[in-house]
Amino acid sequence: KAGVTQTPRYLIKTRGQQVTLSCSPISGHRSVSWYQQTPGQGLQFLFEYFSETQRNKGNFPGRFSGRQFSNSRSEMNVSTLELGDSALYLCASSLDGAGGSPLHFGNGTRLTVT
């Protein structure tokens, strides 16, 4: 079974621009979550989608948004980029997103904002 696929692997953007990251979950997984990883703040939860609906959201500004398509693929968008948005963005999928369901992570998209 193919794992979680994230594209692109690397991105370099300028302050003020916007960016879209893509995630394809494991086949059969309907829940997709997004995380931000930085050296200072560690791993932080952004949001979770299930059946095209956002069910849970972390403590991030509205510049961070996402969506999920009918095939469970997900995209994450960051608008008006700031230097502090430089991070590794990880997508994870699970069968149903419930507490006991383990998350399976992709290799991430490394975003650098200059």
Partner 1 sequence: AQSVTQLGSHVSVSEGALVLLRCNYSSSVPPYLFWYVQYPNQGLQLLLKYTSAATLVKGINGFEAEFKKSETSFHLTKPSAHMSDAAEYFCAVSVGGGTSYGKLTFGQGTILTVHP
| Residue ranges in contact with partner 1 by CB under 8 A | 4, 6, 31-33, 42-43, 45, 47-50, 55-56, 58, 90, 92, 94, 97-100, 102-108
User: What does the angle CA 76 – CA 91 – CA 61 come to, to the nearest 5 degrees?
Assistant: 45
Is 46 or 78 the residue whose CB approaches partner 1 more closely? 46
Nearest distance in Å: CB 62, partner 1 = 19
Is 2 or 98 the residue whose CB approaches partner 1 more closely? 98
Cβ atoms within 10 Å of 104's Cβ, excluding its own: 16
Is 19 or 97 the residue whose CB approaches partner 1 more closely? 97
Nearest distance in Å: CB 44, partner 1 = 8
16: left (phi over 0), alpha (psi -120 to 50) or beta: left
Distance CA 5, CA 23 (A): 6
Q: Judge whether 92 and 74 are in contact, CB under 8 Å.
A: no
Nearest distance in Å: CB 49, partner 1 = 8
